[in-house]
């Protein structure tokens, strides 16, 4: 059966590697099928799903069950040729009707021109539950990430509007194999217990080996360099680009993504003749560089809390502060600890000094290097006050130098203006 990914692949060692789709797409597809069958009374064998990446999937529905007020169905995960522990699992969504009082309906009609259904989304068996703060879900909530959550709710809302349904809908995502599979993931360490997370920012799984990914970085960098860009803007992934696009009004079309390969990116830039790199990254990833870790993938190394703990001690933090940081789940949570002990500024200065040291150490100071780091909760660096999360101290002067050397490049000029 065709699923819409037949022409989507990457080439590795003269072999085509198939794209796949995420658990988030599975859940959204199952939700689309369950809600539409519930409201129409029809039986569907497949559904079409528009993914955030722009690819439309055709997803087969499995194990359809019905009751008087509910329909349940599943979509099977296909990871393509990517090695994925969740490949082949069934992701279920059960859609249930429930009544809404007249008062609630009246309130909804006052808010919108068209009555919007009340939709409740939760996780069932095999979907992890958040037990520690600092993640995108609150403690106690199901581990359904923001993009898949939005996809699922969108499908339910569109179906309700199409069938003029004004009652309530409860959607429960479950993965029967999820609890066992989760033991092979980082979920337990993150405080996500009882199952897997429902993931996927693009809805699509793109298989790519480390070697192929590094080569793709090289190809993109070479393209920019050949177009006359001697100073290159680099982000590890979507977070850096998205954050600056949303909060700093920077035209980010010219950035390249280095994934986790900070060291390899620097090495390739030196070999190519690039004169400078400005990294823009979330502190959760780039704080590792302060320990000299140049591959920031969690499978290679972590050390986030250890770095922040060491910086806290150097900033005058107490033993109790250090212990609290080591017990944190995320960097944002650790930053709150530093802030509570009134040493956030000094600790971040220490972190950013170490980031600069190891960037320069990797390059032997052959090219100009620097980084802007940010936090989802504390924002990005502020030149004058350091009240928000700081980008590294010594790089402020280098931003000026970048801009003067790249007068024709509006990206870096816009970056400097964003700090004013």
Give residue-wise pLDDT tens across range 346-362: 999 999 999 999 999 99
Most confident segment among 255-259, 262-266, 372-376: 262-266
Higher per-residue confidence, 279 vs 4: 279
| Contacts for 160 with CB less than 8 Å, ≥ 6 apart | 35, 39, 117, 119, 166, 169
Kindly indicate the confidence band of residue 16, based on its pLDDT and cuts at 50, 70 and 90.
confident
- Mean pLDDT, residues 231-252 taken together: 69
Selection from 258, 244, 251 nearest residue 379 by Cα: 244
- Fold of the CATH domain 9-205: CbiD-like (3.30.2110)
Sketch the domain layout of the chain as residue ranges: 9-205, 210-418
| Model pLDDT, residue 52 | 93
| pLDDT one-digit tens code per residue, 306-341 | 999 999 999 999 999 999 999 998 999 999 999 999
Cβ atoms 291, 306 nearer than 8 A: yes
- Mean pLDDT, residues 57-69 taken together: 96
| Model pLDDT, residue 10 | 67
| Model pLDDT, residue 244 | 59
Residue 398: Cβ-neighbour burial (10 angstroms; 0-12, 13-18, 19+)? middle
Kindly indicate the confidence band of residue 134, based on its pLDDT and cuts at 50, 70 and 90.
confident
Output the pTM of the full model. Answer: 0.58
């Amino acid at each position: 059966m065709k699923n819409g990914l037949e022409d989507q692949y990457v080439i590795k060692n003269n072999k085509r590697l198939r794209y796949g789709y995420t658990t988030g797409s599975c859940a959204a597809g199952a939700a689309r099928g369950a809600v539409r069958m519930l409201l129409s009374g029809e039986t569907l064998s497949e559904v079409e799903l528009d993914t955030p990446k722009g690819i439309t999937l055709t997803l087969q529905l499995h194990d359809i069950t019905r009751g008087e007020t509910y329909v349940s169905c599943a979509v099977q995960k296909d990871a393509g040729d990517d090695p994925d522990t969740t490949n082949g699992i069934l992701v279920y969504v059960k859609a249930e009707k429930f009544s809404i009082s007249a008062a609630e309906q009246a309130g909804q009609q006052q808010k919108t021109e068209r009555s919007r259904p009340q939709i409740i989304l939760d996780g069932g068996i095999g979907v992890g539950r958040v037990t520690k703060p600092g993640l995108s879900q609150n403690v106690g909530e199901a581990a359904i990430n923001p993009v898949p959550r939005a996809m699922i709710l969108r499908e339910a809302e569109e179906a309700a509007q199409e069938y003029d349904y004004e009652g309530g809908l409860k959607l429960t995502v479950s993965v029967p194999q999820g609890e066992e599979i989760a033991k092979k993931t980082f979920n337990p360490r993150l405080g996500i217990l009882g199952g897997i997370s429902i993931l996927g920012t693009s809805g699509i799984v793109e298989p790519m080996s480390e070697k192929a990914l590094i080569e793709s970085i090289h190809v993109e960098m070479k393209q920019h360099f050949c177009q006359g860009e001697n100073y290159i803007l680099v982000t590890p992934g979507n977070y850096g680009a998205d954050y600056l696009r949303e909060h700093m009004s920077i035209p980010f079309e010219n950035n390249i993504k280095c994934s986790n390969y900070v060291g390899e990116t620097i090495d390739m830039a030196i070999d190519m003749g690039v004169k400078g790199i400005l990294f823009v990254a979330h502190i959760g990833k780039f704080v590792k560089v302060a320990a000299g870790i140049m591959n920031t993938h969690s499978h290679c190394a972590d050390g986030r809390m250890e770095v922040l703990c060491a910086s806290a001690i150097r900033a005058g933090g107490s033993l109790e502060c250090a212990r609290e940081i080591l017990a944190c789940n995320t960097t944002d949570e650790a930053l709150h600890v530093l802030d509570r002990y009134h040493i956030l500024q000094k600790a971040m200065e220490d972190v950013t000094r170490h980031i600069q040291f190891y960037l320069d150490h990797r390059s032997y100071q052959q090219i100009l290097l620097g980084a802007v780091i940010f936090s989802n909760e504390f924002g990005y660096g502020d030149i004058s006050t350091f009240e928000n999360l700081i980008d590294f101290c010594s790089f402020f002067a280098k931003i000026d130098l970048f801009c003067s050397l790249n007068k024709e490049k509006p990206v870096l000029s816009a970056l400097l203006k964003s700090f004013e």
